[in-house]
Structure 1
Amino acid sequence: MRGVRWRRIASQIGRSVAVWVVSTLTMLLLAGLLPDFRLQAPGGDSATRIAVTAACGAGAFGLLSAVAWPLLVRLLLLVPAFVLGLLVFFLNGSLLLLALHVNPSGRGEAAPETAVIVAAVMSAVASATGAALTVRDDEAYRRRLHRLAMRGSRHRPPGPSAPGLICVQLDGVGHDVLTGAVRAGLMPTVARWLARPDGDEPPVGPVPPPTHRLTPWRTDWSSQTGASQLGILHGSTFDVPAFRWYEKDRGEVMVSNRPTSAAELQYRAVLRTGEEGLLAVDGASRGNLFSGGAGEQALVLSIAARRRSRENRSRAGYFAYFSDPANAVRTALSFVAEVGREIGESVRARVRGQRPRVSRGGLYPFVRAFATVVERDVVVAAVMGDLLAGRTVVYADLVAYDEVAHHSGPGSRDAEKVLQRLDRALALLERVAEHAPRPYRIVVLSDHGQSPGETFRARYGLTLGDLVRAGCGLAVPRRAQRTHSGAEARAAVRAALRRPVEESGGRHRPAPGSEPIVLASGNLGLVSFPDVPHRMTKEEIDARHPALLTTLAHHPGIGFLLVRSERHDGVLLAAHGAEIPLAELTDDRGPLARFGPGAADAVRRTHSFPHTADIMVNSAYEPADGEVLAFEEQIGSHGGLGGAQSRPFLLSPLDLTAPTADGREPVGAEEVHQVLRRWLAELDGPQVPLPADAPEERAA
């Protein structure tokens, strides 16, 4: 044992010396290339003196990066995390200037802007050199990953030998998008798991056996992250009729990706099921809207609104990642590159006259860069730490594809590039899992898909709100106003900036009045009359606004309406005077026939929710091309019924039982929750108790 220990110490010293030498050579090279960076006196120095200056400067910079940087990042946790990312270059450059100042050779100076460049290059080179050396030694590689990912965390004892479960959610990636990406060779890791060769070329040599199975599942009517992830993590989607909705009893607009609303939804789900969630025992929640009851949380929206404390560590993932200056520099550079890439792609789409197209200006390039770079890097690093710490169950959400597909389209070149990067992230987690203290089973799943199509406003020149106002006999603005995107990445950015998620006009509590409140959730619209305390019936709406329901039901952009009825409890309204009681509603005929199996049950279930809107509006859907008309400014949308948005996927290891015993598709996020609980039990992990029968009505 003593010999092994000394060999480890000698190996670590050797690697440190090698990194120091490479850093010294990098500093010498930069001094020769950059005019504002000098390592010699104005009158000149000998080559030996310059080399000594470079060696001392590189050593001082390395020590400061190892010691001072983590302290600076910890202090700056008081600063919004998004701002912290922007301060990376300034902090790193300041450390280099300090290293030159304390250099015992008395030489070396750099202009501030040059110091930023030199520090960034040296951090990247040192990180690459250290990784290249340690990756040759499996044990050293494992220790290095553990140190970077878990820095600042308490030491945890080795985990049990029973396998753990890692669940990675690829937000917004539908089943058909995934299979298409595998066929096109965009996702080689997933293709290898499914034993499907990349592209259309026949395989060369034997094909390894598959390790995973791919299963589609169906969402509820509300095909969006708020409902799906709440159901997956907490076992309940009850009373979540859309991404955003108005609650008359509270006089408040609920928005799934607003921290206060997410916290309330999580509380209601726990109250209804009587269980803390899927991750309650030795679990970790990373980048999600909800905690799942996990003790370890990073970038979790439902706790973002609470005051920071030991119990609220939502932003701890930023420290674990940015405490390594090389990580910080690499992510910051990638962030800037992604902003430039988005601006270039947006200009390209505009020049080519691409249709459909939505506005991609303003802050959107920065929101996209946050989702595709910062959020991805921080969440993946946090999951790496969970793997190496031996946690039993981890659930992580990567929102990159969903954000890009909303604005570029689900099948766009932009979205395909994101899928390639997500596949590389899965490959990295797979490699890190090989160095974990316990075996792991990796499950990849999505919460919903996305359906393409132009916006309702682009096709008809008015928004759903304008159409509702016209049906009510109210004045319609000449210029239709833009609706807010429901993308999860916007909420993550606002939470990082500690700014609330706002609705139209910034009104979370609309003043009661005669005008209706119209909210959009992808191609699902909700109309509520705030001055009526109960859910209005068709008869009451007709008496108050005789033309409204007819105007909506007969519009070519509307697929169907759901309203309450005094005579039939609930009815579905559609074009040509169709009025079908919910009890007689079927999937194989009538207005829902084109929306696929399960549509009738999904509509009936939503009708039973206490906070279903007075009028639920689903846009038209064309099965031939899979297109819907979004009521938001999105050319890839989800939230209602119609097309790929309702058909996400579940990619699971073959050594776990099939999601369903009879081979059917799981229906609803609540069933997916039960499947994951069963797999946890199969892996002989903590016995997560199944929830008791839930009450029919939400507790007061």
Structure 2
Amino acid sequence: MDSNHARTRPSRTATGWRLLRGRRLSSWGEVWRLLASLVLSWLLLSLTIWVMPGVSAAARLDVLVAAAVLGVLTAVLRPLVTSLALVVGWVGVLVASVFAEALLFYGALTLAPGITVDGFWDAFWASWLFSLLVNVANWLVSAGDDTAFLSNLLRQTQHVRAAATPTTVPGVVFVQIDGLSAPLLQWALRSGDLPTLSRWVRSGTHTPRTWHVQLPSTTPASQAGLLHGASGEIPAFRWYEKEAGRLLVANHPRDAQVIQERLTDGHGLLADDGASISNIFSGDASTTLLTMSAVSDRAVRHGPSRGYATYFINPYGLSRSLVLSVGEMVKERHQGRRQRRRSVEPRIDRHGSYVLLRAVTNVLLRDVNAALIVEQMMAGRSSIYCDFTDYDEIAHHAGPTRPESLASLAGLDHLIGVLETAAEQAPRPYQFVVLSDHGQSQGATFRQRHGQTLEELVRDLLAGREGTVTAATGVGETAGPANTLLSSVGQEKGLTAKAVRRATRERSVGDEVHLEDSSSSVETAAGAGPQGKGDVVVIASGNLAMVWLTRFPGRMTLEQLDAEHPGLVAALVSHPGIGYVVVRSERHGDLVLGRDGTRFLDEDRVEGRDPLAPFGEKAVREVRRHARLAHVGDLVVNSPLYPGTDEVAAYEELVGNHGGLGGWQTEGVLVHPAAWPLDQDVPLEGADAVHHQLVQWLRGLGHRARLEEPAAVSRGVPPGPTSTP
């Protein structure tokens, strides 16, 4: 970090970290910290013994001795317990996370004089109550920040840092805030709601930029570009491939592995000793953690890393996440009722499994990701890329600019600040880049506006004709990270993996868990491929949808569609919930059909009113590019852009959405160190261009020297920064 950055950092955070990190008694401050911790443990242990039946103490001094013994046993034995758990695998980690603290607690109470315990299960429940009380007390003392939690993670990763080789070559931490649009970031920076990012920008250490997100504006396509420079391989969040007769869903691990093989050339963004955390694709990283494309790869070890084990076995890990997860679910119920009570529009129902999914993404996975980033920084990885889906998840259901969505964004900003300070303990300096994969647009859904789904509309238009209509328009994107975690465990051998597979068997395909997704119905109905009699597949990605007639090989033309299903295309084009339809003509090439006119993409002319005019000057180029991608639908449908509000209508039941054109969904974010020069010859148009810029910056820092990159050389991309920022 440069000196200007260090001078502008708030002293409270730095002071708190200095007081909390490490176990060595290197100063009187450390002595007082341990004494304060002992006193707090004594008070909470006294409360636990007073509340819990089956545990009693003869005198208060006996409780103080028990608290001291518990601290010693925890410090000495927990590393050993963690190592033993890792030998067993996921089952060992999960069993240790539940029972390790209870065993240490039982041992401390048994060894301490004057303490009586009726049995192990009394100590078990008492240990959980004690852990919960400790987490609540730490939250109150620290005003709700994560300083105590992450400082403990630093202590737990001291062995990792000790094994790392120090270097002065800066590493880079890429933090992806899923779904954050550039206009919203600018507003939040000006309002002061993002103190960390605002400090970076106002002090001049970082520069915020907007990059244009190409069609489709989805996480899989953008990450394929950002991590591999190959966004053109992905036409949507999910799509149907006629040749193979199958549906591909990018956040299903087995499908992600298939797509990954199409993307990789061995020179991805993270190819030089990088770590991929909670992403869809790996970026060719040597270390992949919670990465979807690696879950189904049998060549990749799926057992937990020490970072997972440290988090779950740590008393500040699992019990802390449970407390905060319950609080998150209570908040969600309150905020959903508040929207209904205030008649906020647009809105959707926020109930069912989403309440739990919000707790998983906004608490559990955020904490796990933070723990894994700290572990990889302490190991000295040259680059780390992590996708945080917290904001995107809440914005989908509440709306991109709603208070709960902004609160999630503020929480991520705080976490970035904590990671920034934690990086000071790493064996190499780290620079931070914050970016998004796309933005989000808002609007009432297609079903809310017109009383039926797009699938139902197509079925009505085909009424009485041969064939079936199947659809994948569920909100499976929101469950992707949870799918990955559960699938990682399910791939393992042993009792835990069997239990996960059994508990989720109705939502599983093989060893994979598919929560909140209707895609499996498409795979069943359309799995027969081109021979399927008259099947029609409708798939939505936000306000972009595609339609395939699986009976016909290849992409059907307008003339074939009119012959097979007269009036279908015309009815879709005239529907008020459809802004334009893209179809291929035998005579004119790719066409964009609107209610009042036609855009001839290949002939570069317009008849009547241009249907792409409302979507901006880049729309023609984007739609033309997308229409030429492999595996696009026979029909590509985009919702209207509603004047006055710049809202769109999702073909899924999501009030905040992305995937097509319209609104803020195509305005991505890139916040980078100001000293890193931007390549003016390669404008930030599309994720592939951002990838090449990131690669150049890594080269300028001294990375990737061992990699041969003929593709980058052939593009004539100039070198990156020549000095260390």
User: TM over 0.5: same fold?
Assistant: yes
Amino acid across the alignment from 2:641 = Y
Q: In the TM superposition, what is the alpha-carbon distance from 1:114 to its structure 2 partner? A: 4.1
Q: What CA distance in whole angstroms lies between the structure 2 residues aligned with 1:227 and 1:591?
A: 25
Between the aligned partners of 1:23 and 1:484, the Cα distance in structure 2 is: 47
Contact 2:594-2:610 within 8 A present in 1 as well? no
Check 1:61–1:107 CA distance in 2 against 1; reply closer, same or farther (3 A cut): farther
- Partner SS state of residue 289, structure 1: coil
Q: Which moved more, 1:599-608 or 1:684-693?
A: 684-693
- Of 636-645 and 428-437, more deviation after overlay is shown by 428-437
CA drift of 1:472 comes to 2.6
1:513 aligns with 2:522: no
Q: Which residue of 2 aligns with 1:204?
A: none
Contact 2:89 2:303 in 1 (8 A): no
Q: Which residue of 1 aligns with 2:483?
A: 494
Deviation at 1:681, TM superposition (A): 1.1
Distance 1:78 1:106, change over 3 A: closer
The answer to whether the aligner puts 1:290 opposite 2:290 as a matched pair is no
Query: Offset at 1:68?
Result: 3.3
**Richer in helix (by share):** 2
Q: Distance in 2 between matches of 1:591 and 1:682?
A: 44
> What does residue 429 of structure 1 align with?
419
Alignment counterpart, residue 78 of structure 1, candidates 88, 91, 97: 91
Q: What is the aligned partner in structure 1 of residue 204 from structure 2?
A: 210
**One-letter code aligned to 1:675:** Q
Choose from 11, 20, 42 the match for 1:24: 42
Q: Using the alignment, how far apart are the partners of 1:677 and 1:587 within structure 2? A: 43
Asked if residue 682 in structure 1 is aligned to residue 700 in structure 2, the reply is yes
> In structure 2, how many angstroms separate the alpha carbons of the residues matched to 1:588 and 1:387?
58
Q: 1:73 to 1:690 in 2, by over 3 A?
A: closer
Q: Answer yes or no: is the 8 Å Cα contact 1:26–1:122 preserved in 2.
A: yes
| Alpha carbons of structure 1 residues 387 and 63: separation in structure 2 relative to 1, 3 Å | closer
In structure 2, the CA distance between the partners of 1:681 and 1:587, relative to structure 1 (3 Å rule), is farther
- 1: CA distance between counterparts of 2:263 and 2:552? 27
| 2:308 partner amino acid | Y
- Name the SS for the 1:558 alignment partner: coil
- 1:429 aligns to what SS in structure 2? helix
| 2:100 is aligned with 1:100 | no
Counterparts of residues 255-274 of structure 1 (less than 5 Å): 255-270=249-264, 274=265
Q: Deviations over 1:585-610 (max 9, x none)?
A: 58997111111132111111122222
Superposed CA deviations along residues 410-445 of structure 1, whole A, max 9, x for unmatched, are 011110110110110111111122232222221100
Q: Which residue of 2 aligns with 1:549?
A: 569
Matches within 5 A, 1:194-205: 194-195=201-202
Question: Which of 53, 75, 85 in structure 2 is aligned with 1:36?
Answer: 53
Alignment of 1:371-390 (within 5 A): 371-390=361-380
What corresponds to 1:162 in structure 2? 169
Question: Hey, what does 1:656 align to over in structure 2?
Answer: 676
* CA deviations over 1:546-575 (Å, ceiling 9, x no partner): 111101111111111111111122111111
Match of 1:457 in 2: 447
Which residue of structure 2 aligns with residue 299 of structure 1? 290
Q: Which amino acid letter does the alignment assign opposite residue 121 of structure 1?
A: L
> Structure 2 regions of 5+ residues with no counterpart?
1-22, 488-511, 715-725
Kept in 1, the 8 Å contact 2:86–2:304? The answer is no
| Secondary structure at 2:547 match in 1 | strand
- Secondary structure of the structure 2 residue equivalent to 1:326: coil
Give 1:188 shift.
1.1
- 1:653 is displaced (CA, Å) by 0.8
**Identical counterparts, % of pairs:** 35
Secondary structure at the aligned position of 1:390 is classed as coil
Q: Name the stretch that deviates more: 171-180 or 586-595.
A: 586-595
Against the structure 1 CA distance between its residues 210 and 619, is the aligned structure 2 distance closer, same or farther, given a 3 Å change threshold? same
Check conservation: 1:406, 1:634, Cα contact below 8 A: yes
Is the CA contact (8 Å cut-off) linking 1:287 and 1:379 kept in structure 2? yes
Q: Comparing 312-321 with 534-543, which one deviates more in the overlay?
A: 312-321
Structure-1 separation of matches of 2:331 and 2:519? 29
What aligned pairs does 1:560-571 form with structure 2 within 5 A after superposition? 560-571=580-591
Task: Check conservation: 1:623, 1:643, Cα contact below 8 A.
Answer: no
Q: Distance in 2 between matches of 1:545 and 1:193?
A: 57
1:597 match: 617
Structure 1 letter corresponding to 2:598? A
Aligned to 1:633: 653
What is the aligned partner in structure 2 of residue 537 from structure 1? Answer: 557
The number of equivalent residue pairs is 654
Q: Which amino acid aligns with 2:309?
A: F
Q: Which runs of 5+ in 1 are unaligned?
A: 196-208, 696-700
> Which residue of 2 is the match for residue 240 of structure 1?
234
- Distance 1:424-1:267 versus aligned 2 partners, 3 A rule: same
Alignment match, 2:460? 470
Q: How far, CA to CA, are the matches of 1:321 and 1:237 in structure 2?
A: 34
**Residue 640 of structure 1 aligns to a residue in which SS?**
coil
TM superposition shift of 1:220: 1.3
> Which one is further off, 46-55 or 503-512?
46-55
Q: Is the contact between residue 171 and residue 399 of structure 1 (CA under 8 Å) also seen in structure 2?
A: yes
Question: Do the aligned partners of 1:448 and 1:646 also contact (CA within 8 Å) in 2?
Answer: yes
Shift of 1:97: 3.6
- For 1:500, give the aligned amino acid: V
Q: 1:405 aligns with which of 385, 395, 419?
A: 395
What is the one-letter code of the residue matched to 1:580? F
1:120 equivalent among 112, 117, 132: 132
In structure 2, C-alpha distance between the alignment counterparts of 1:211 and 1:585, rounded to whole Å? 46
Call closer, same or farther: CA 1:36–1:143 in 2, change over 3 Å. Answer: closer
Code of the residue aligned with 2:81 in structure 1: it is A
How many angstroms does 1:316 deviate by? 5.8
How far residue 309 of structure 1 moved from its aligned partner, in angstroms, is 5.0
Counterpart of 2:81 in structure 1 is 68
Shift of 1:328: 2.2
| Offset at residue 333 of structure 1 (A) | 1.2
Superposed CA deviations along residues 123-154 of structure 1, whole A, max 9, x for unmatched, are 77699999xxxx99xxxx99965442476x59
Secondary structure (helix, strand or coil) at the match of 1:651 reads strand
In structure 2, how many angstroms separate the alpha carbons of the residues matched to 1:90 and 1:618?
52
Query: Could you tell me which residue of structure 1 aligns to residue 711 of structure 2?
Result: 692
2: CA distance, partners of 1:463 / 1:432: 48
Counterpart contact for 2:442–2:655, Cα < 8 Å: yes
Give how far 1:241 is off: 0.9
Matching residue within 621, 625, 644 for 2:664: 644
Asked whether the equivalents of residues 93 and 120 of structure 1 are also in contact (C-alpha less than 8 Å), the reply is no
- Relative to the length of structure 2, the TM-score reads 0.82
Looking at structure 2, the residues matched to 73 and 337 of structure 1 have their Cα atoms a distance apart, in angstroms, of 30
In 1, Cα distance between equivalents of 2:206 and 2:124: 52
3-state DSSP of counterpart to 2:603: helix
Q: Secondary structure at the match of 2:422?
A: helix
**Residue 514 of structure 2 is aligned to residue 503 of structure 1:** no
Counterpart in the other structure of 1:199: none
Contact 1:587 1:598 in 2 (8 A): no
Amino acid at match of 2:375: G
1:275 deviation in Å?
A: 3.4
Partner of 2:156: 148
- Say whether the 8 Å CA contact 2:311–2:318 is kept in structure 1: yes
Partner of 1:583: helix, strand, or coil?
A: coil
555-564 or 157-166: bigger deviation = 157-166
1:172 aligns with 2:179: yes
User: Are 1:220 and 2:214 counterparts?
Assistant: yes
